Structure 1
Amino acid sequence: MYEYVPQDKQDPVDLEWMKEALSMAEEAMDAREVPVGCVFVRDGRIIARARNRTNELGNATRHAELEAIDEIFASPSLTPTPIPQHPLSQTDLYVTVEPCIMCASALRQLGLRAAYFGAANERFGGCGSVLDVNERPSSIHPSYPASFGYLREECIMILRRFYMTENSNAPIPKTKARRVLKTFISDPTAAKQPPSTQSTAEQNI
């Protein structure tokens, strides 16, 4: 299960990495993609950065995390041959939104060391919001700790700004002319409750 880290407990270094992830989310926003961005950090430096590219590539699986993982695997200096069983065992992920179940599961299989994210993902989250992929023990795929709250308000507001706009890639575009940008953000500790009792603030980002 993920852990909420209050602002006064957040490491400044983690916040700097999250700022880099947020810049990738802004890039996704400019490209009219769902604004999610991430960076992978190893040995105190960013080894890969990416954003959502699902619309651009016409592929619903091209989430920011998988884009960055492909970048890591494409570099011989980052992923030696033969590929080790857990190639991300010395690598941390910083992503603006909790990884979906697909991405969270892939990260566990690759042996990710730790995940840090801004906002919970109450619709698809795989680190505890909908399903916790790390819940079951495995002798093959070690679990990884996940924590959230880093630049949470900024990560939520960029999503809200995006969903105020028309999505030309939606199967049935919906008019949003009457929508009003919500600025209230609920108590983050509500995101630690079971989905059935959670605040709708992040559900309706």
Structure 2
Amino acid sequence: EEIETWMDEAFDMAKDALQNGEVPVGCLMVYNNEVVGRGRNEVNETKNATRHAEMVALDELLNWCHHSNLDVSKVSRKTVLYVTVEPCVMCAAALRLLSILHIALVVYGCRNERFGGCGSVLDVSGADLAQTGSTFKCVSGHRADEAVEMLKTFYKQENPNAPKPKMRKKTHKQKS
């Protein structure tokens, strides 16, 4: 039941992302039953490819700890990250590489078959890799079908932020 409550909020953020022309991914970081970080994809609006939902939420967690005078490593050990889609390789690596973090658990909706960093493409979350931070546990499949449908909706529409195609001039080669 607790998972569903937090996933509801993550899906609300994903819907907001979709309505704003972003890939529909929403994320929450929950500590002691309180949201201490939240994010949705902001890649298109910021024109910054690193502004994935998890990275936005992670920034909020760091700011929350700073303003609350709390040790981020102690907070993160008891923090659960809820996200609608499996974290990509970049986000999974960021969660792992920030050695101050030891995220307790990552709960996600659907698998990310193209870029997933929690086992779909690479197992960044659990691989035994020297000097790459702490592994973290993942639980998948929460409302996966709904997450997939939102992604399909996004990818069926035209991306207003996509670069305009350039017309190429045809060159005629002379026969020799």
TM category (shorter chain) comes to 0.7 to 0.9
Q: Which one of 23, 30, 34 corresponds to residue 45 of structure 1? A: 34
CA contact (8 A) 2:96 2:132 kept: no
Q: Map 1:91-110 to 2 at 5 A.
A: 91-109=79-97, 110=101
What TM-score, normalized by structure 2, do the two folds share? 0.83
Indicate how the Cα distance of structure 1 residues 27 and 44 shifts in structure 2: closer, same or farther if over 3 A, else same. same
Q: What residue is the counterpart of 1:161 in the other structure?
A: 153
Q: Is 1:16 matched with 2:16?
A: no
Q: What residue is the counterpart of 1:123 in the other structure?
A: 114
What secondary structure does 1:50 align onto? Answer: strand
What secondary structure does 2:91 align onto? Answer: helix
Q: Is 1:72 matched with 2:64?
A: no
Larger Rg: 2
Give the C-alpha shift of residue 141 in structure 1. Answer: 2.5
Q: How far apart, CA to CA, are the structure 2 residues paired with 1:106 and 1:46?
A: 20
- Cα deviation 1:139-181 (Å, max 9, x = unaligned): 77221110111011111111111111111222367xxxxxxxx
Alignment identity in percent?
44
Question: Which runs of 5 or more structure 1 residues have no equivalent in the other structure?
Answer: 1-11, 174-205
Normalized per residue, the structure richer in helix is 2
Aligned length: 160
Structure 1 residue ranges (4+ consecutive) displaced by more than 4 angstroms after TM superposition: 83-87, 137-140
- Cα deviation 1:23-59 (Å, max 9, x = unaligned): 0000001111111001111112211211000011110
For 1:53, the aligned partner's letter is E
RMSD: 1.9
Q: How far apart, CA to CA, are the structure 2 residues paired with 1:90 and 1:77?
A: 18
